[in-house]
Homo-oligomer: A and B are copies of this chain.
């Protein structure tokens, strides 16, 4: 057991839980993962699940942490999660986000906080994020610049585009790109043309380029472009994997076109794994926008630790 302060950081999402025992300098002492998330847990399940993982985390020679300081982010803070954490409003200072974190009453003798999300409370185009704010905090911390400035693109089930100025989130927007891909390829008429094929990660593939062309050069609306993919298959006998690639390219291109509108940043910071990051980078390149990759893997962890150190300076 070391003398320094230790933190427990928890990324508790829709389907999965990841938990780390960390030193203040970022050293990960132990880690656990489990397929337990909001979709399968009821409110009463969270505390016993956490206790089980805490015990497991301290096995193997790690002394139990007394009065543990536990920082949680993700869907555990959703209305259907453990305890609803508030949303911070725009503009939201990343460094101060943890001040709004909600304290969770518990019988573990622990100080447990769930990070707040961020809301865009505008009736014209409301939006919410929960989880990504912690990655953004991690990005700012990892860049060594608390006053991070730029456009951050975070592709995924619900892709986020975030404007950050001097460490404050000033605006953001969500596109349902990943969810639309999953729904359309499995459940729409396009399933007959895709036949279970999965998209590849090659931005030079015929399908991906065709999809991107339709979205960027031709500017076909989303709903018409989807049916064009069906017509492609019927008229030109396109293979399933090529149609899957084309759907992927088309949805990514539409996300970018719809979000950019008439505004074109010189560069964006791209928070994505390598495969999907390569596809988005190719799409940005077509628009002469530089996409700087960020290491997505550890951002949540970095962000949770930064938030924990703000609340419990050690």
Write out the residue numbers on chain B whose beta carbons fall within 8 Å of the beta carbon of A223. Answer: 175-177, 180, 222, 251, 254-255, 258
Q: In the bound complex, do residue B175 and residue A183 qualify as a contact, i.e. CB atoms below 8 Å apart? A: no
CA distance A266 to B120 in the complex (A): 38
Identify the interface centre among A119, A214, A230: most chain B CB within 10 Å of its CB: A230
Contact residues in B for A234 (Cβ distance below 8 Å): 79, 128
Give the contacts of A86-136 with B (CB-CB under 8 A): 87, 119-121, 123-128
In the complex, chain A residues 225-272 whose Cβ is within 8 Å of any chain B Cβ = 225-228, 230-232, 234-236, 251, 254-255, 257-259
Instruction: Point out which of A183, A221, A236 has the most chain B C-beta atoms below 10 A from its C-beta.
Output: A221
Min C-beta distance of A223 to chain B, whole Å? 4
Contact (Cβ within 8 A) A220 B176: no
* Given A121-B235, A218-B124, A223-B251, A189 and B175 contact (CB-CB distance below 8 Å): no
Query: Residues of B contacting A126 with CB < 8 Å?
Result: 228, 231-232, 235-236
* Residue A59 interfacial (CB < 8 Å): no
| B254, A158: Cβ atoms closer than 8 Å | no
Whether B258 contacts A158 by the Cβ 8 Å rule is no
Rounded to whole angstroms, the CA-CA distance of A177 and B223 in the bound complex is 7
B123, A236: Cβ atoms closer than 8 Å: yes
Chain B residues lying within 8 Å of A220, measured Cβ to Cβ, are 125, 258
Decide: A189 and B179 in contact? CB cutoff 8 A.
yes
A87: which B residues are within 8 A, CB to CB? 235
**A188 engages B179 (CB within 8 Å):** yes
CA distance A300 to B302 in the complex (A): 63
> How distant is A273 from chain B, measured CB to nearest CB, in Å?
21
The CA-CA distance from A133 to B254 in the complex, in Å, is 30
Whole-angstrom CA separation of A223 from B127 in the bound complex: 12
**Residue A187 at the B interface, CB < 8 A?**
yes
Does B176 contact A183, Cβ atoms closer than 8 Å?
no
Could you tell me if B125 and A218 are in contact, using CB atoms closer than 8 angstroms?
yes
Nearest CB in chain B to that of A189: its residue = B179
A223 to B181, CA, bound (A): 11
Q: Is A201 an interface position by the 8 A CB rule? A: no
Q: A176-B188, A187-B187 are in contact. List 6 more A-B contacts (CB 8 A).
A: A128-B231, A158-B189, A176-B227, A180-B223, A221-B257, A221-B259
